[in-house]
Structure 1
Amino acid sequence: MRASIATVCLSGTLDQKLVAAHEAGFHGVEVFEPDLVASPDSPERIRARAADLGLSLDLYQPFRDFEGVGPDLLEQNLRRAGAKFALMNRLGIETMLLCSNVATARSGDEQLAAAQLRDLGDLAERFGVRVAYEALAWGRFVDGYEQAARIVRLADHASIGLCLDSFHILSKGHSPEAIETIPADKIFFVQVADAPLLSMDVLSWSRHHRLFPGEGGFDLGAFMGHLVRTGYDGPVSLEIFNDTFRQADPRATAVEARRSLRWLEHEAATFLGAAAGRAARMPVSELPAVQPASDIGYVELRTDALADMRDLLGQLGFQAHGRHRTKNVELWSQGAARVVLGRPAPGVRQPTVAGIGLSVPDPGIALRRAAELFAREVPREQDAGDEPLVGVRAPDGSEVFFGAATRTQPPWVHEFGEPADEGAALIERVDHLNLAQPWQHFDAAVLFLHSVLDLHTQPSMEVAAPVGLVRSQVLRSADGIVRIALNLVPSGERGETILPQHIAFAASDVLSLARSARDRGFRPLEIPANYYDDLRARYAMDPLLLDELRELNVMYDRDESGEFLHFYTPPIGTVFLEVVERRDGYEGYGALNAPVRLAAQYQQRRQATTGISA
């Protein structure tokens, strides 16, 4: 697949965008006209710069409001087009994008549109360029790709073809199957974009909410599969209008974009079948097989408040193994739940969930899949006798390591020594992680977890908190072994992250654990009495159970499957812990309790920093 990207996807100057596309491994770019107009460089210099970077300039766009007009305006439009064709010659670009008319068309007559496109084709032919006609989803008369294909067929000109854009097709609910009826030589260009499934006007949806493939709700694998069957072998380009991407670091966004196209290639190969995909004129191949995790082997926490975190883990019944024999980290465990503690990297002020370790059938294959998706490998020093672990870095800087799955305790645990007293284990394993994501990493994190780890998105939700509206997106493996909730973080007055991250541990008996932890000096996050009064009104509960929940600051939820009991620790910096008990197949996360928890945490932080309790 020839990977291309529109410069509109990236922030920065035109030169910065070209450099970012080159470094991310793209083959070419679409030049978005406003980027060229704002550039201090001449078209010839831009052409030479792209060539030096090994990038082709694949498309000049957009040219608007051409067809369906009267004779006087047609003459003006042809004059405009001639000037753009001359500019394209200077840039060395052979294809121009023509959007269907949204403003000046006064007729929807397809024969008239075709005749005017034929005139445009004659002009393009004189300059040695081509025109790719695209049906905008909000076009005045032409808003569907099959209609655009009819007009191109009627125009019957070698210099006039189609641009197929997945957003304009799928946002209108049009089936992509008819793409297979279009001759490959009349498909001049292809643009792809994903998007969340929203109910809003399509123009606003397009201009602000497009996403890279794999980050939204469109079935892009089928779109690409139908395209591949036509025999098309030209560029597949990302055209993403997104307010976040236009502010984020262009290098990071370009890597995210390149990852999305590799994932899309895999989805197309899966749709077609591996053999058919490889045999296509534009070959598409599947990624190395997903390595499903048998468990979360460990979670790594980094904090300068090691003493406080040790006390907290001890109160919850975790046992210390001691320091690693060669590395400056220590291990705490209970059941199959393991926490590796270390100090943060220089310059990192807040405690963080720095990484996770997954036990998989073949770590090498897991690493190869991640590498094909442009994830950076994390270098790790390994001494003789150390269990081999391989890992990659997520968009937010955290790490994901892969170790070989075993039927017993992972061998690397012995590198820390054995705990002094195993004790009774009420905590069984890690249930889920809740990771705060800065605005510029949220969608990239969704794509990373979906493509690299094969975690699938659950319905997203928004939770009201004292600091703002928190958007939460859960991703989980098919078997529920790995569950990660991503929270889009509101910003404080100085743009600081103010939403904590947390690790949730699964327990066999939350109430017993809460009591034993209290006996060891544990003080849970205090939940207001109003919450328990509301529980009494919401559910027909055993009064004795309600009193016990209130006494221990344990929260409660119920669905058609079962019950959910959970409590929270106070935060240490921006990290806190949660202990959960799922009864009778409950699969949720206590969503109705989230606003209460967030408010209680806000109140606790405010009291700690200001001394004000109300």
Structure 2
Amino acid sequence: MATVSLSGLLSEKLTAIATAGFDGVEIFENDLLAGTLSPEEIRLRCADLGLRIELYQPFRDFEAVPAERLARNLRRAERKFDLMERLGADLLLVCSSVDPDAVDDDALAAAHLRLLAERADAHGIRIAYEALAWGRHIHTYDHAWRVVEQADHPALGTCLDSFHILSRGSDPAGIADIPGEKIFFLQLADAPLMAMDVLRWSRHHRCFPGQGGLDVAGLVATAVRAGYRGPLSLEVFNDVFRQAGAASTAVDALRSLLLLEEQVGLTSPPAPAVPSGFAFAELAATDTEPLRGMLGALGFSRTGRHTSKPVELWQQGDARILLNTGAGGGRQGPKPVAVGVETPDPARSVRRAEAMLAPVVPRRRAPGDAPLDAVAAPDATELFFCRTDATDHPSWTDDFTGVPTGGGASAGISRIDHIALTQPWHQFDEASLFWTSVLGLAADDSVDLADPYGLRRSRAVAGPDGGVRIVLNVAPAPGADTAPVQHIALATDDLLATARRIRERGASLLPIPANYYDDLDARHALEPHTLAAYAELGILYDRDAQGEFLHCYTATVGQVFFEIVQRIGGYQGYGALNAPVRLAAQLARTHG
């Protein structure tokens, strides 16, 4: 992992990289120059941590320059070779030149690189030449390889960088034409697909493999088939990562490489047991009375109390909500703290989670309690692996004894459709990778949702059959005094009937402005009586080529609210088009 990928001073970065479990490190020159440790001390520190220094980088603007500039560059190179000997590094990354005075002459560039390789070889150092996507004359990997091949020196090879290759739309299939032994290094980074200047895209928006939209795994597979046997190394420039804690970012980084190695076929961790649905959602609250009232109005009944913990089970159909008074909801009130998913093999799910570096949550278990393991997501949400109705496996529901029923008759809710988890601002990409790697879910593209005070980023991850859907949203920015609000979406087959029952029982549904329904009529020309019913109940509407989507919202209690949804046909989305209206309506209600 390149030290530039993390926040902090060099000594902090090295500790975080080693603690996460990496084998080696790229020393980024700025980290060395700004640090107080000498090259010898850095070398010893890496050795103590069990890290190999795989690469020193970058050496810039060397090749295809006028003679007087070449002399200065060689002097600069000799000083770097001396430093690398002190550091114990034997591979130097040389970037293709962006110097305005560089000449567009491949033969000259090859001659200069050969001269550099000869000087490096005398120090026992090799040169890895990389094409920057914004290089002045050489900006594609195949062009860089042609120059390296022309230079023809054993101490000169190429460095392949997934971002520089894929951001330009280059076809990585040509990597197969490069001898594996001449691929000296492989740097990896993903990125969201964005329309912007490639330099700005590179400097601010790279992310770890699996968090963006580039086919990093395909590129690595091609390099491995070509015979590459060196390190897989992460070089990620990201504004958020460089402000977040180095320790957690390094773990996220290693998780991305573990998943990548699996995708490429280099390793075989336990396969994910893709969940088929939600077993429960758990809410913590010091005072559960507001939630009891809300659940009763939604048609839930209290069906059990845990035999050894202050937890109640509320159920309607296959939708189950746990109310926990032991964990506490804090001054903001009720909040989600755990999610249970139905998995065909809980033991394998735990092994998979551990292989993907998910920390197992210590559990206090009374004698006779059903075995139930949980791991912690990056935002501290606990993820439980369940088999609720299995005849050959203990069910977590056996830990609940019957209690007098609280609540009312069913309102038509059948199950949990999806759960929306608001993430700390610096853990959005980490959360996406966690849920996809641990559960084997697939991630949709990120979307920006407009609210009255800016944009919110959102991304959904889901199983192949839609049984488990999780929507990840970004919390308010650092320093904001607003507690993040989460929500649970409940499915019904008849939203109009369900909404009327809920309202008749006294639950407050979020009112939606009349302007929305005027626009809805203009866009979809719904039947007048249908449109009137939607407006009366605060129901929002969306459609796509596969089907239709109806949804409405309850008032917010503490840090949670409920969404009731009806999917018609093959609709797979979440009504994102309506999110700005919902956010504004919630804000208006909050401020009276």
Residue 418 (structure 1) aligns with: 402
Pairing of 1:560-575 with structure 2 (within 5 A): 560-575=545-560
Amino acid at match of 1:379: P
After TM superposition, the structure 1 stretch with the greater mean CA deviation from structure 2, 241-250 or 183-192, is: 183-192
CA contact (8 A) 2:285 2:329 kept: no
CA contact (8 A) 1:267 1:286 kept: no
Pairing of 1:68-107 with structure 2 (within 5 A): 68-107=64-103
Aligned residues: 588
CA displacement at 1:183 relative to structure 2 = 1.9
1:590 aligns to 2:575 (yes or no): yes
CA contact (8 A) 2:388 2:396 kept: no
CA displacement at 1:495 relative to structure 2 = 2.4
Amino acid at match of 1:225: A
Indicate which of 256, 276, 280 corresponds to 1:298: 280
Counterparts in 2 of 1:263 and 1:209: CA distance versus 1, 3 Å: same
Aligned to 1:215, the other structure's residue is in SS state coil
Residue 610 (structure 1) aligns with: none
- Describe the superposition over 1:177-205 as per-residue Cα deviations: whole angstroms up to 9, x where unpaired: 22222222212111001111111111111
CA contact (8 A) 1:361 1:405 kept: no
Distance 1:395 1:460 in 2: 18
Counterparts in 2 of 1:28 and 1:126: CA distance versus 1, 3 Å: same
Unmatched 5+ residue regions in structure 2?
none
Residue 441 (structure 1) aligns with: 427
1:312 aligns to 2:294 (yes or no): yes
CA displacement at 1:543 relative to structure 2 = 2.1
- The alignment's C-alpha RMSD in Å is 1.9
After TM superposition, the structure 1 stretch with the greater mean CA deviation from structure 2, 596-605 or 10-19, is: 596-605
CA displacement at 1:531 relative to structure 2 = 2.2
Aligned to 1:66, the other structure's residue is in SS state coil
Aligned to 1:207, the other structure's residue is in SS state helix
CA contact (8 A) 1:319 1:419 kept: no
Aligned to 2:399, the other structure's residue is in SS state helix
Distance 2:331 2:55 in 1: 45
Residue 306 (structure 2) aligns with: 324
Distance 2:543 2:326 in 1: 38
Distance 1:544 1:363 in 2: 48
Counterparts in 2 of 1:478 and 1:203: CA distance versus 1, 3 Å: same
Runs of 4+, deviation exceeding 4 Å? 344-349, 407-410, 419-423
Indicate which of 540, 553, 576 corresponds to 2:538: 553
Residue 225 (structure 1) aligns with: 221
Amino acid at match of 2:517: Y
Distance 2:508 2:427 in 1: 34
CA contact (8 A) 1:65 1:105 kept: no
Amino acid at match of 2:71: E
Counterparts in 2 of 1:89 and 1:414: CA distance versus 1, 3 Å: same
After TM superposition, the structure 1 stretch with the greater mean CA deviation from structure 2, 339-348 or 320-329, is: 339-348
Pairing of 1:184-583 with structure 2 (within 5 A): 184-269=180-265, 284-343=266-325, 345=327, 348-350=330-332, 351-404=334-387, 406=389, 411-418=395-402, 420=404, 423-424=409-410, 426-491=412-477, 494-583=479-568
TM-score (norm 2): 0.95
Amino acid at match of 1:488: V
CA displacement at 1:420 relative to structure 2 = 4.3
Counterparts in 2 of 1:346 and 1:97: CA distance versus 1, 3 Å: farther
Distance 2:492 2:328 in 1: 35
CA contact (8 A) 1:388 1:403 kept: no
Amino acid at match of 1:56: R
Aligned to 1:577, the other structure's residue is in SS state strand
1:161 aligns to 2:157 (yes or no): yes
Counterparts in 2 of 1:42 and 1:583: CA distance versus 1, 3 Å: same
TM-score (norm 1): 0.92
1:132 aligns to 2:128 (yes or no): yes
Aligned to 2:63, the other structure's residue is in SS state coil
Distance 2:325 2:54 in 1: 48
Indicate which of 172, 178, 181 corresponds to 2:177: 181
Distance 2:535 2:180 in 1: 67
Amino acid at match of 2:354: A
Distance 1:561 1:187 in 2: 46
Counterparts in 2 of 1:348 and 1:116: CA distance versus 1, 3 Å: farther
- Describe the superposition over 1:204-244 as per-residue Cα deviations: whole angstroms up to 9, x where unpaired: 11111111000011112211111112332221110000000
Distance 2:113 2:576 in 1: 55
Unmatched 5+ residue regions in structure 1?
270-283, 608-614
